[in-house]
Amino acid sequence: MVLLQTFLKAFRFVELTQGPGMRVFQITDKREQGFTLMEMMVVIAALAIMAAIAIPSFMSMLPGLRLNGAARQVMTDLMAARMKAVKENNEVRVFFNSPGTNQYQILDDDDNDGTADTGEVFTTKNIQDEYHDVTFSATTNPIFYPRGTAYGTTVTVTNTSGSRDVKVAITGRVKIQ
């Protein structure tokens, strides 16, 4: 009986002709009409379970992603400073935690005197513009020389997930460790 009811629910019966002693039905699968409410509920429940599993683990990954992103940003800017020193044929200096905490300034030091003079181009970045929980410290402020070499440093970026070191070697090479 239950089986019969299930069968009747699952299919649509359309009477096509009606003659003496003969009735013809077209039987079609109801699912061709779309999803049933039950199917929708099963799909929604499955998605809710997957989201409940995936979202917390994704959220726990975010600090690590931000830390790596911040380290890459510092590395990219230091590499660009090195290339600029070569291209401009003058020293380029980077000042960390200047003018404020979490900021760094990149100076195109045309006259190689270590200070920003009138007409020299200065760029200021704040690491927390994109990576709000990341802070950094530097052993010293690096200098990039026109020949591609450098006065090296180690910049350590930190947040709740840990820390990464961005190292500038005296050869001028910049890498994340």
- Phi, psi for residue 16 in degrees, rounded to 5: -90, -50
Q: Closest residue to Ca ion, Cβ-based?
A: 88
Q: Which CB atom, from 148 or from 162, has the smaller least distance to Ca ion?
A: 148
- Yes or no: say if 30 and 36 are a contact pair by the CB < 8 Å rule: yes
111 near Ca ion, rule: CB under 5 A: yes
Buried b vs exposed e over 89-125: b needs ≥16 C-beta within 10 Å?
ebbbbbbbbeeeebbbbbbbbbeeeeebeeeeeeeeb
Q: Smallest distance from the beta carbon of 121 to Ca ion, in angstroms?
A: 7
Distance (Å) of CA 157 to CA 83, 149, 152, 163: 22, 23, 16, 5
90 near Ca ion, rule: CB under 5 A: yes
Q: Which CB atom, from 111 or from 165, has the smaller least distance to Ca ion?
A: 111
110 near Ca ion, rule: CB under 5 A: yes
Q: Smallest distance from the beta carbon of 150 to Ca ion, in angstroms?
A: 16
Quick one: which of 109, 143, 155, 172 contacts Ca ion (CB under 5 A)?
109
Q: What x-and-dash track marks residues 46-85 binding Ca ion by CB under 5 A?
A: ----------------------------------------
